[in-house]
Structure 1
Amino acid sequence: MGKHRTILLKLYIVSGLLFANVVSTQAETVSSEPFFQGSLIVGKTKPENTVTLNGNKIKVSKQGDYALGFSRDEKNNSELLIISPSGETEKRLLKPLKRNYNIQRVNGISKKIMNPNKKAISRVGEDNKKIRAARQVDSDLTAFSQGFIAPIDGIITGVYGSQRYYNGVPKTPHYGLDYAGKKGDPVKSPADGKILMYVADMFYSGGTMIIDHGHGVTSTFLHLSDSYVKEGDDVKQGELIAAVGASGRATGPHLDWRVNWFNMRLDPALVLKLKPSNL
Structure 2
Amino acid sequence: MNRLLIAALFACLSLPVCAEGFITRLLNKPVPGGVAVVPLAEADTPARVRYQGKPVLTVREDDKRWIAIVGIPLTVKPGTEHIESDTGERLNFTVQPREYASQHITLRNQQQVNPDAARLKRIQRELEEQLEAYRQFSARQPSNLLFDRPVDGRLSSAFGLRRFFNGEERNPHSGLDFAVPTGTPIKAPAAGRVILVGDYFFNGKTVFVDHGQGLISMFCHLSAIDVKVGDEVVRGGHLGKVGATGRATGPHLHWNVSLNDARVDPAIFIGTFK
TM range (shorter): 0.7 to 0.9
> 1:155 — aligned with what?
154
1:119 aligns with 2:105: no
Give the TM-score taking structure 1 as reference length: 0.77
Cα distance change, pair 226–93 in 1 and its aligned pair in 2 (3 A): same
CA distance in structure 2 between the aligned counterparts of 1:237 and 1:160, rounded to whole angstroms: 23
Which 10-residue stretch deviates more, 64-73 or 110-119? 64-73
1:12 aligns with 2:9: no
Q: Cα RMSD (Å) of the superposition?
A: 2.9
Give 3-state SS (helix, strand or coil) of 1:123's partner.
Answer: helix
Give 3-state SS (helix, strand or coil) of 2:23's partner.
Answer: strand
> 2:7 — aligned with what?
none
Q: Is the 8 A contact 2:224 2:240 kept in 1?
A: yes
Give 3-state SS (helix, strand or coil) of 1:36's partner.
Answer: coil
Give 3-state SS (helix, strand or coil) of 2:220's partner.
Answer: strand
Give the percent of matched residue pairs that are identical in Structure 1 and Structure 2. Answer: 28
Q: Which residue among 18, 29, 38 is the counterpart of 2:33?
A: 38
**1:262: how far off?**
3.7
Q: Is the 8 A contact 1:53 1:79 kept in 2?
A: no
Counterpart amino acid of 2:70? Answer: L
Q: Which runs of 5+ in 2 are unaligned?
A: 1-18, 61-65
CA distance in structure 1 between the aligned counterparts of 2:240 and 2:190, rounded to whole angstroms: 14
Instruction: State the aligned residue count.
Output: 246
CA distance in structure 2 between the aligned counterparts of 1:57 and 1:249, rounded to whole angstroms: 30
Q: Where in structure 2 are the equivalents of 1:1-279 lying within 5 Å?
A: 12-13=23-24, 18-19=25-26, 35-41=30-36, 46-53=43-50, 56=53, 58=55, 66-75=68-77, 76-80=79-83, 92-143=91-142, 145-199=144-198, 201-273=199-271
Counterpart amino acid of 1:79? Answer: H
Q: Is the 8 A contact 2:49 2:68 kept in 1?
A: no
Give the TM-score taking structure 2 as reference length: 0.79
Give 3-state SS (helix, strand or coil) of 1:126's partner.
Answer: helix
Q: Which runs of 5+ in 1 are unaligned?
A: 1-7, 21-32, 275-279
Counterpart amino acid of 2:34? Answer: S
Cα distance change, pair 153–11 in 1 and its aligned pair in 2 (3 A): closer
